[in-house]
A and B are shown apart, each in its own frame.
Chain A
Amino acid sequence: MSDDSVRLGWWLSSEELDPRRLVTDAVRAESIGCPTAMISDHLRPWVRRQGQASHVWSVVGAIMHATSSLELGTGVVSMVHRNNPIAVAQAAATAAVMSEDRFFLGVGTGERLNEQALGERWPSSGERLDRLVEAVEVIRRLWSGESVNHRGESWKVEKLSLFTRPATAPPVYVAASGKRSAAVAGEHGDGMIAVAADHQVVEVFRGSGGTGKPCVAQLHVSLAGSKDGAVDNAWEWWPHGVVPPTLLGELSQPQEFEAAASAIGRNPITDTVVCTTDAGDVVAAIDRFVAAGFDTVYLHQVGEDQDRLAEMLSSELLPHYASG
């Protein structure tokens, strides 16, 4: 068994925070001792109250310029319609060069919310997974510097070589929500990203080639001055947290998420967001991920009050996990 420490990361929510604030928070994460951060990629927010959706690669560049040791990854970029593997390979290679190898590329099968604006058919989850596997293969070939000619089921590349490339290709982490995507993460990825402390997903990832590779998770928290205030904050900023996971990828408009959340009601929000004033509750949630096989947990503080996350991380969480 490994004796390394649990790594705590800072989640930068592009759909909730102004891009300038994202850069400021990344700098703060680095300054308090977080070794790593992930940033989400959205064309529009889940619900209108969130109010933001900046272009992730612009913000990645700014963060890389403003920090010196922070690892940063995308959480996650999809290649369905909006992005294609050529554009993603070039952007990620540039980020890796700018950061001097502090960047990793997180990829996934995407959500209709961020793809429907292109007016194309929304593929099934299996088809999107196939597109992702092919895209990752193309990206790795482009990063290798070879002249790529590719005519696949989903993507075409005609005689392209990338010119700005890092000496070492960045790792590719694949988002997984079930056994099928976990198997893809193990076979085709350099790591896995998940949002549930599901040991079965970790088992499949490891059994499919993921043994020894990083396993990272996102944990939603709502920290406030009172328990009720924390629930209110979660419901105001993250109401789609009550929407079943199978629907999250299928709805196309923020208004649809608002309607679905409203119909379900706010009570289940505490099932997916740790609403608390107490670091002990956050520790318990992190520990469940670690026991299930995750080595890094990214804390996403829902809403605008990121100061509370910084305070809890620096005064309680980081010292707790550093104590061994």
Chain B
Amino acid sequence: MLDLPTEGQIGDRRRVAKFVGPVGTVGFGATIADVRALADRRPPVVVVSDGNIVLGLIEDTASRLPGDTPVARLMVSAPGTIRPDVRVDDALEQLRRDGLAYSLVTTARGELLGIVRPDEVHV
């Protein structure tokens, strides 16, 4: 109402929100042909609902499947996510400790904001 920023939006550069990058998305009814048509096909591709809620993801190898294969049938459901207001050094330490190459960033409601990749974060 007052149009004030929310946590993680301004000021503190040490929050994940400052390092969120774009990630390709497709809808729940998409096929592998739709995945192949994406401009940004760097893995992963995220499957989202109409409200941009994260439903699942598919890895780059999925683009090798026949074009009419529905993504809903094969997506990896409920991938791990982090919030934008997490301290970026804590997030990076956790990702590196777990050996993960990326994490999806979502709001508490599960809306996709983007992706954070440790290799691309320089704090």
Residues in chain A within 8 A of chain B (CB atoms): 1-6, 179, 182-183, 186, 199, 202-208, 211, 215, 284, 287-288, 290-295, 320-321, 323-324
Q: Which residues of A are found within 8 Å of B86, using beta-carbon distances? A: none
A-B contact pairs, 13 of them (CB 8 A): A3-B36, A3-B63, A4-B64, A6-B61, A6-B65, A199-B76, A202-B59, A290-B62, A290-B74, A291-B65, A291-B74, A293-B59, A295-B64
Q: Which residues of B are found within 8 Å of A1, using beta-carbon distances? A: 35-36, 41-43, 45, 60, 62-63
Residues in chain B within 8 A of chain A (CB atoms): 35-36, 41-43, 45, 57-67, 69, 71, 73-76, 79, 95-96, 98-102
Q: Which residues of B are found within 8 Å of A202, using beta-carbon distances? A: 59
Q: Which residues of A are found within 8 Å of B98, using beta-carbon distances? A: 179, 204, 207
Determine whether the beta carbon of B61 is less than 8 Å from that of A287: no
Q: Which residues of A are found within 8 Å of B102, using beta-carbon distances? A: 207
Known pairs A183-B99, A199-B76, A321-B65; list 17 more (Cβ under 8 Å).
A1-B36, A1-B60, A186-B99, A199-B59, A204-B100, A207-B102, A208-B99, A287-B62, A290-B62, A290-B74, A291-B62, A291-B71, A291-B75, A292-B59, A294-B61, A295-B64, A324-B66
Q: Which residues of B are found within 8 Å of A321, using beta-carbon distances? A: 64-66
Which of B36, B65, B71, B95 has most A Cβ within 10 Å?
B65
Question: Knowing A203-B101, A290-B74 touch, does A215 contact B61 (C-beta < 8 A)?
Answer: yes
The residue from A208, A290, A292 contacting B65, defined by CB atoms under 8 A apart? A290
Q: With the chains together, A182 CA to B65 CA distance in Å?
A: 24
Q: With the chains together, A207 CA to B62 CA distance in Å?
A: 19
Question: Knowing A204-B99, A204-B100, A207-B99 touch, does A287 contact B64 (C-beta < 8 A)?
Answer: no
Interface on chain A toward B: helix, strand, loop, or mixed SS? helix
Q: With the chains together, A5 CA to B63 CA distance in Å?
A: 9
Determine whether the beta carbon of A2 is less than 8 Å from that of B61: yes
Determine whether the beta carbon of A291 is less than 8 Å from that of B76: yes
> What 9 pairs between A and B have smallest CB-CB spacing?
A293-B59, A291-B74, A207-B101, A1-B60, A1-B41, A204-B99, A1-B63, A207-B99, A199-B76
Q: Which residues of A are found within 8 Å of B61, using beta-carbon distances? A: 2, 6, 215, 290-291, 293-295
Question: Knowing A199-B59, A290-B61, A320-B66 touch, does A206 contact B101 (C-beta < 8 A)?
Answer: yes
Distance of A270 from chain B, by nearest CB (Å)? 19
Q: Which residues of A are found within 8 Å of B79, using beta-carbon distances? A: 199
Q: With the chains together, A219 CA to B76 CA distance in Å?
A: 18
Distance of B62 from chain A, by nearest CB (Å)? 5
Q: With the chains together, A211 CA to B59 CA distance in Å?
A: 12
Of all chain B residues, the one with the shortest Cβ separation from A294 is: B61
Determine whether the beta carbon of B63 is less than 8 Å from that of A2: yes
Determine whether the beta carbon of A290 is less than 8 Å from that of B73: no
